[in-house]
Every structure is written in structure tokens, then in C-alpha cells.
Amino acid sequence: MGMKPTDISAPDYFHKVVDCQWACPAHTPVPEYIRLIAAGRYSDAYMINWKSNVFPGILGRTCDRPCEPACRRVRVEDEPVAICRLKRVAADYKDDIKDRLPKKAAAKNGKRIALVGAGPASLTVARDLAPLGYDCVVFDGDTRAGGMMRTQIPKFRLPDSVIDEETNYILDLGVDFRGGTRIDSMKALLADGYDAVVVGSGAPRGRDLDIPGRKEAATNIHIGIDWLSSVSFDHIHSIGKRVIVLGGGNTAMDCCRSARRLGGEDVKVVVRSGFDEMKASPWEKEDAAREGIPIHNFLVPKEFLHKSGKLTGVVFEKVKAEYDAKGRRKLIPAGEPDVTFECDDVLVAVGQENAFPWIERDAGIAFDEWGMPTVDKVTFQSTNPKVFFGGDAAFGPKNIIWAVAHGHEVAVSIDKMLHGENITERPLPAATVVNQKMGIHEWSYKSEIMPDQRYAVPHRDNATALSSIKAEVELGFDAKLALSEAGRCLNCDVETVFSAPLCIECDACVDICPMDCITFTENGEEDDLRQRLHAPALNLSQDIYVADGLKTGRIMAKDEDVCLHCGLCAERCPTGAWDMNKYFIEMTHAGPACR
């Protein structure tokens, strides 16, 4: 008994080895586009992204990058490949790609889809369905498309021109965009006879802080996301000199940096948790620090101080973290004197919530006790079979890339449903396998791997950056830096494929492998085998590739965890038992392939 031989034809097996792609909610084929960037083929790199994540220019500036912590470079070196900023390179340096986009459907198929909210979820659904002939009608209260990408992300991180370009690629597919039209009744919408309704209206309500002084000092206390959208729409142009931002998420980072540009001289962030446990992405905290914004931690707001209707400061209680037996954190009073910070304005960025005041509770859509719709996690269908939810509207606030991933799945559901198919049967991804061997020492990919620390993205100098709310802070990689950074990619989609009948068990691969990934040994149960490998395989999230059928009766066991995909095993193999094959894995989107 022991481990079963690995079925490498299972679509997920090698997909999981491509950590970045597996971690990406939209499963963008990351190594493939990074190689194209290295080759200077920016338009090709852009199109791979566009197909998968719809907003490469936007995401290349704003993505929460779930791919990067997953990057294998983290496990073998330190910092991940700058995947997100390489995506931006593709968007920045591409040629005009308009003629490579899908064409408007020659004929409509007679099915009408209503999409509520013109954010990333709805636009992704429209992008997938409009070219298939669906009549997609997108409604939004704002006159321009983009949703939270337009209203809540400051322009110094994401210029309007980028949003315009990428939303127009979709609207130009023959999508009927009705800007400035706020939907205020689901029942009325359903009564219009749409074949499907997509709710992509986000999580639009910023959480408030109900502590003493809130009402009295209301003029100087602003809800973060509302304040940011007012700044976006040019309704707000200034703020007091001394600003406190309450909250530790990315919205708090956007708030403090915006405040710094609108006249805030003494801007500070105050957060309940410890600095390390803040929800904000590490790089967003770094950006705030670079702009001279201190972050004070373990302080819980207790009271707003005010004088004749004007905010004068905030009192905080000092807390400390305590962990119970299960490792859960609790913040308890530290027993130290309260801390008071004086200020002119406060921005409250302590979270946001869903709100569906426009969906009547008798519209056939079930909601739970927290006011969230009941949505199937795979099909995104609500309890009203015609109504689908995507993006923040589906499961609460997440990130753009999640909204895009939801959008693709919603489109598949709708396409299947309107073709009379069972929407719970989901399409498998498509894999294209290409052998990489060119000659005795030649591979079609850059197999030589060296230690190489992450390259920093150039920034606009602080003085210029802080003088304008719209001047983009990050300048992006230039072509040379992009080439260097792209060279750090380990090509994890070029897979080591083993053929036991060819193996003569000469140990050449075992000896050459720089990471001690390969072991020939007696089979055993996984727990035991993991301990017996050449290097113990302790990262349980990474699979062991097992092959049997060797002459000695042993098995080949390869720990995928820290494989560099350097191809040395294949290069040193005298019989070709090891081979390097590129697995280009693409998710199946709406259209004939999904049905």
C-alpha cells in the first residue's frame, strides 16, 4: 500500500503547481504573459490578460495581488515576482489592440440581460455575453462606467484615462450602457421581461462609528468611501490641516493619502489592531509611510471632542492583544492612560457593507439574517433563478479581481441556463501542452534560474506627487526594468513530466536537482513518505508527484513545493524519462465551449 500514482491528466494537478495562476481568482495564465513581456510582445501579453481578467491596465495598478504571496519565488528566495506591476507594463506598452478585441455580435440572439451597476462584475458579464449576441443593458447611477474602480480608487493611483479605455473596450462591444439611471426596484426590473438579471451593485455603504460626539461634530467627520467618491467627482477639494483617518484597511490608506494632497499637513492613521494585523496590503502601508503618514496602532476610538459644533480631537483607549487557547485575538484595555489626538477632520474607514434597499423582499430573492442574498457559491444564482449576484454584491467586500472572476462564472451560468442546460455542471479549463525541448541544451523558455531580488517600481518624487490629487504616483516599470523583473519568473507552468517506463534509475536527476525535489524510494502512505524524501516535504499545500512502474519496484516521488522548473532533471536524464512540457491552462468562459 502507499500513495496512488499521480494522474497528471487531471486538469487541476499542474494548475496547482502554477501557484500564481491557481491563486488568481480569474486564473490568469501568469507565466505565459510574463514570458511575452520579456520577449517585448506587450500586446500579446495584454490580450492574454484581457481575456482572463478584463481590466489589465486597472488591475496592473490596483489589484490586491493574491498571486504574489503564492509566488514560488517567496518560498525559494524572499520577495515574489512583481506580477501585478508587470501586468501594467503590458497595458502601458501595448500597441493599439482594438482590432484584436471580439467583434460586435453580427446578430442578436434575442435574449436580454439586465446588469445593475457598471462595476467590474457587471462589465465582465457584459464582456463575455455581448459578443455572443446577448442584448446586455448596463444600469448605473453614475454617468460613467467603472463603479468603485472609478469612485473609490484615488486618481493618483488609477487615472481616469485607464478606466475610460478599458470600460470602453467593453461598452463598444454593443453593450447598452444607461449611465445616470439608478435602479430602485428589482420587481420593476423583473417585470420588464429580462431573461436574466445580474446584480453587480457592490457594497456601497461605509460603516459608521457610533461614539460620543459623533452627532455634535458631524460636519468634520466623513465616511471614508463617500468622501473618496466626492473627491473623485471633484465635489471636495480641501480638508483641514490636521486629519485623523480611523481604520486599517486599503480604504484608510486611500483616505490618508488623498487627505495629504488636499491640504492635510498633519495626517495620521489610527488603527485598533496591531500594525502587522492591519487589513491594508503591505505595499499600500509602505506607500503611506513614504508620504510621511504615521500609523498609530492598538488605539480604539472612544470619543470625538468638539467645541461649539467643531471637531477638536479624538480620544483613544490604549489596548493590547491577547490570544486565547485557539489562537483567536482579543483586544483588551492595556490599562494605560487614554491618548488624545487633536484634529480638524476625521475620515472613518472602518469597513463597508452591502445594502440592497432597492430589492423588494418579496421579489423571490431570499436574504439571510445579515441582509445578504442567498447566492450559490458556484453558479452565483440567487433563489430567483433569473437573478444572479456577482462582485461585492454577492458575498461582501472583496477586490476587483474577485468581481471579475464572479463575472465570468455568472456569464457561464446565464449562457448555459438560456441554452436549457444544467448550470451546476461547470466547464473544465482547457489545457494546451507544448514540449519545450529544442536541442540537447536548448529549451524554449529561459530555464536558467539565479537569485535575483525584486526590482522596485519607480515613483514620482514626493513633492510633485503630493501637490496634485491626480498625478499618478507610480510611474511603472520601464522596458529594461520590466525585462529584469520578468526574468525572475520561475516559469512554473513549464512542468516536469515523468515517464516511468523510460527511467533506468541512474539517479542523475536526484543528483542534479538543486532543491532536492526528487526521491526514488519505497512507496508508503503520504504522511510517512513526506518524511522520507530527500528533503522532507513539509508544505502540505503542495502535492507530491508519484509515479510507479519502475524496474526496482520503487516509486519516483517529487515534491512540487520548491521546484525551480530549471529543467536540469530533464537535461541530465539520459533516456528522456523527464521532460519539460508547458501547460497553458485557460478557464472556459461563456460561449460554445462551456456548453
Partner 1 sequence: MTYLTKPKFHHPSLPKNTLGYTRRDYEAATSTLCAGCGHDSISAAIIEASFELAIEPHRVAKISGIGCSSKTPTYFLGASHGFNSVHGRMPSVLTGANLANRELIYLGISGDGDSASIGFGQFAHALRRGVNMTYIVENNGVYGLTKGQFSATADRGSKSKKGAVNTDNAIDLAAMALQLGATFVARSFSGDKTQLVPIIKAAIAHRGAAFIDVISPCIAFNNHPGSTKSLDYVRAHNEAVNALDIMIGRDAITVDYEPGKVVEVTQHDGSVLTLRKLNDDYDPSDRLAAMNFLQQETAKGRIVTGLLYVDGEADDLHGHFNTVAMPLNQLNEPELCPGSKALDKINAGLR
Which of 203, 246, 564, 590 touches partner 1 by CB under 8 A?
564
Unique residue bearing C-alpha cell 491596465: 57
CB of 573 to partner 1, least distance (A): 6
Asked if residues 458 and 475 have their Cβ atoms less than 8 Å apart, the reply is yes
Among 334, 538, 540, 593, binds partner 1 (CB under 8 A): 538
Shortest distance in whole angstroms from residue 536 CB to partner 1: 6
- Biggest CA–CA distance in the chain, Å, is 89
Comparing CB distances to partner 1, the nearer of 299 and 508 is 508
Which grid cell sits at 57?
491596465
> Nearest distance from residue 444's CB to partner 1, in Å?
15
Identify the residue among 195, 360, 516, 526 touching partner 1 (CB under 8 A): 516
Residue 249 contacts by C-beta under 8 Å, 6 or more apart in sequence?
278, 279, 280, 349, 351
With CB under 8 A as the contact rule, the residue among 507, 522, 525, 528 that binds partner 1 is 507
Instruction: Restricting to residues 466-505, name those near partner 1 by CB under 8 A.
Output: 504-505
CB of 33 vs partner 1, minimal distance in Å: 23
Tell me the CA distances in angstroms from 270 to 95, 249, 315, one per residue in order: 44, 11, 11
- Report if residue 77 touches partner 1, rule: CB under 8 A: yes
**Among residues 568, 580, 585, 590, the one that binds partner 1 under rule CB under 8 A:** 568
Nearer to partner 1, 142 or 579 (CB): 579
Q: Which of 78, 396, 575, 593 binds partner 1 (CB under 8 A)?
A: 575
Q: How far is CA 545 from the centre of its chain?
A: 28
Asked if 61 and 158 touch (Cβ cutoff 8 Å), the reply is yes
Site size with partner 1, rule: CB under 8 A: 36
Q: Looking at 193, 451, 463, 541, which residue binds partner 1 (CB under 8 A)?
A: 451
**Minimum distance of partner 1 from residue 24's CB (angstroms):** 24
Instruction: Please report how close the Cβ of residue 22 comes to partner 1 at its closest, in angstroms.
Output: 20
**Residue 98 Cα distances to 52, 95, 129, 169, angstroms:** 17, 9, 18, 8
Q: Which stretch binds partner 1 (CB under 8 A): 224-232, 242-250, 420-428, 447-455?
A: 447-455
Instruction: Please tell me whether residue 554 binds partner 1 under the rule CB under 8 A.
Output: no
Residue 573 CA to its chain's centroid (Å): 39
Closest approach of partner 1 to the CB of residue 568, in Å: 7
Which window, 62-70, 358-366, 417-425, 532-540, contacts partner 1 (CB under 8 A)? 532-540
- The end-to-end CA distance of the chain, in Å, is 40
Grid coordinates given for 473: 504616483
Q: Is 226 in the site for partner 1 (CB under 8 A)?
A: no
**353 in contact with partner 1 (CB under 8 A):** no
In eight-state DSSP terms, residue 423 is T
In whole angstroms, give the CA distance from residue 438 to residue 316.
66
Residue 541 sits in the site that holds partner 1 (CB under 8 A) = no
Helix, strand, or coil (residue 96): coil
Candidates 34-42, 138-146, 320-328, 572-580 — which segment interacts with partner 1 by CB under 8 A?
A: 572-580
Nearer to partner 1, 218 or 504 (CB): 504
Q: How far is the CB of 505 from partner 1 (least distance, A)?
A: 7
Q: Does 296 bind partner 1 (CB under 8 A)?
A: no
Among 352, 447, 496, 519, binds partner 1 (CB under 8 A): 447
Q: What per-residue string of b and e applies to 16-52 under the rule 16 or more CB within 10 Å gives b?
A: ebbbbbbbbbbbbbbbbbbbbbbeebbbbbbbbbbbb
Residue 444 dihedral angles phi and psi, to the nearest 5°? -75, 0
Q: What share of the chain is helix, strand, coil (3-state, %, to 5)?
A: 30, 20, 50
Say whether residue 234 binds partner 1 (CB under 8 A).
no
Q: Which of 16, 41, 75, 459 lies at the binding interface for partner 1 (CB under 8 A)? A: 75
Question: How far is 353 from 351, CA to CA, in rounded Å?
Answer: 7
Beta bridge partners of 434: 582
Among 105, 331, 500, 506, binds partner 1 (CB under 8 A): 506
**Where do the H-state alpha helices sit in 318-427?**
392-395, 400-417
550 lies in the site for partner 1, by CB under 8 A: no
* Interface with partner 1 (CB under 8 A), residue from 132, 372, 486, 508: 508
- Output the nine-digit C-alpha cell for 92: 502601458
Taking a C-beta distance cutoff of 8 angstroms, is the pair 519, 507 a contact? no
Among 572, 581, 584, 588, binds partner 1 (CB under 8 A): 572
| Single residue of 32, 472, 571, 586 touching partner 1 by CB under 8 A | 571
Task: Establish if 103 lies at the interface with partner 1 (CB under 8 A).
Answer: no
Element (H, E) at 43: helix 42-53
C-beta of 143 vs 575, nearer to partner 1? 575
Considering the complex, state which of residue 185 and residue 484 has its C-beta at the smaller distance from partner 1.
484
Sheet architecture: strand order including 494-498:
430-435, 578-586, 494-498
User: Which CB sits closer to partner 1, 28 or 496?
Assistant: 496
Check residue 252 for interaction with partner 1 (CB under 8 A).
Answer: no
Pairwise CA distance, residues 163 & 174, whole Å: 18
Q: Is residue 3 a contact partner of residue 546, using CB atoms and an 8 Å limit?
A: yes
**116 pairs with which residues across the strands?**
139, 199
**Binds partner 1 by CB under 8 A, chosen from 393, 566, 585, 594:** 566
Considering only residues 356 through 375, tell me which ones interact with partner 1, judged by CB under 8 A. none
Should residue 189 be labelled a site residue for partner 1 when binding is judged by CB under 8 A?
Answer: no
Q: Which residues contact 357 (CB under 8 A, 6 or more apart)?
A: none
Among residues 137, 372, 573, 594, the one that binds partner 1 under rule CB under 8 A: 573
Q: Does 448 bind partner 1 (CB under 8 A)?
A: yes
- Residue 572, Cβ density class (10 Å: 0-12 exposed, 13-18 middle, ≥19 buried): middle
Residue 309 burial by Cβ neighbours in a 10 Å radius (0-12, 13-18, 19+): exposed
Name which position in 5, 13, 41, 76 contacts partner 1 (CB under 8 A): 76
Q: What are residue 32's phi and psi, to 5 degrees? A: -60, -45
Least gap, CB of 486 to partner 1 (angstroms): 17
Q: Which residues bind partner 1 (CB under 8 A)?
A: 75-77, 440-441, 447-451, 504-508, 510-512, 514-517, 535-536, 538, 551-552, 562, 564, 566, 568, 571-575
